[in-house]
Amino acid sequence: MRDTTNYTYFLNVKFNIKRNPEYKGSHELARIPLHTTSLIHTTFDLGTTEQDMIDEFHAELVNIDINGKTWLKGEMVQVVSIEKCFEDRTPKGRFHKDNY
């Protein structure tokens, strides 16, 4: 039987995203054509609700431009739906926070 005490558990999520029509820049994240969708992969802690996942994704800082303006993911792309969400695990590595 496998030892499951040395694993970190998390939610593995694929978002179906589209470009925010109000964003006029050319950041790589927003190079999706206007009327199509794309998939993006990210992870969250266990117990995070779908709405919290979307809110956290939109609130992530992407870039600070030359004029000091900060750009968030929500200003560049919008989440259309959650394509896939499942519980995943990874072995706790040598530098994991629980080892200290």
Q: 54 is in which domain, residue-wise? A: 7-83
Whether residue 44 lies inside any domain: the answer is: yes
Whether residue 16 lies inside any domain: the answer is: yes
Whether residue 20 lies inside any domain: the answer is: yes
CA distances (Å), origin 92, targets 10, 46, 76, 98: 12, 16, 34, 8
Predicted confidence (pLDDT) per residue in 16-74, tens digit? 999 988 888 778 877 888 788 889 999 999 999 999 999 999 999 988 878 888 889 99
Whether residue 96 lies inside any domain: the answer is: no
- Name the amino acid, one letter, at 72: L
Whether residue 58 lies inside any domain: the answer is: yes
Largest CA distance in the chain: 57
**Helix, strand, coil share (%) of the chain residues, nearest 5:** 20, 40, 40
Answer yes or no: is pLDDT of 79 > 80. yes
Q: What is the pTM of this model?
A: 0.77
Structural domain count of the chain: 1
Whether residue 94 lies inside any domain: the answer is: no
Averaged pLDDT, 66-84: 90
Answer yes or no: is pLDDT of 7 > 90. no
Answer yes or no: is pLDDT of 100 > 50. no
Whether residue 49 lies inside any domain: the answer is: yes
